Amino acid sequence: MKALLIMSVLLGCVLVATAEEVGAAEAAPQELQEDNKLVENEAAGFVPEVKESVEVSAKEVASPAQARFFSCPSGWVRYKSDCYLFVASSRTWTSAVTYCASYGATLASAHDVFDYNFLQDLTRTSGYTTAWMGGFYFQGWRWLDQSTFSYSNWYSQNSVTSYPCIYLNIAIGWSNNVCTAGYPYICVKKTDTC
């Protein structure tokens, strides 16, 4: 019997609390409406001071951010998040690697058809038809930047023991040649790294 009495008291308390919450919820919309009227009245009486209008172009707004985050050094071309430099002087593959390294760069790699088309266009617009890339053979084809050699665009592939270095041809894909041949080359360096 005591248990039934205690349960009745608890149930009564829950019902009273629920009724109070429902009543408060019904009253809340009226209070919100009154608050909204106060805000509307205050907003109607508020007129902001208008100063001289200054027009700013999107280019002016974007340029500081671009200069800070998206720019390449003079003479370099931005593609994706990297900067590319076409070097017209003919060098051996290893000499080209050394030259690029002096700028904190490597010879360029191509990971898909878009990368390769960009490198072709860069070579073509520089007035050349061939350029060293960062591909070489050592227990399999590799890129100097240590990225995977998952895309291939071979035009011709010679003996890897005698011709371990890759060069780009703007018309027909890439080929491998002796590393002592002289070609112009394309350097690439990351821009979005600290």
Residue 120's SS3 state is helix
Q: Please give the span between the terminal C-alpha atoms of the chain, in angstroms, as a whole number.
A: 76
Q: Look up residue 182 and give its two tokens.
A: 């002289």
Q: What pLDDT sits at residue 38?
A: 47
pLDDT tens string for the chain (194 positions)?
555 545 454 545 445 444 555 454 454 455 545 554 544 444 444 444 444 444 444 344 344 444 455 689 999 999 999 999 999 999 999 999 999 999 999 999 999 999 999 999 999 999 999 999 999 999 999 999 999 999 999 998 888 889 999 999 998 899 999 999 999 999 999 876 54
**What's the confidence (pLDDT) of residue 3?**
53
Length reported for the chain: 194
Q: What is the pLDDT of residue 6?
A: 56
Supply the pLDDT for residue 50: 42
- Contact of 86 with 184, CB cutoff 8 Å: yes
Q: Whole-angstrom Cα distance, residue 123 to residue 132?
A: 10
State residue 183's pLDDT score. 98
Average pLDDT along the chain: 77
| 8 Å CB contact between 138 and 178 | no
* 70-190 is a CATH 3.10.100.10 domain: yes
Q: What is the pLDDT of residue 161?
A: 87
Q: Is 61 helix (H, G, I), strand (E, B) or coil?
A: helix
Domain ranges for the chain, please list them.
70-190
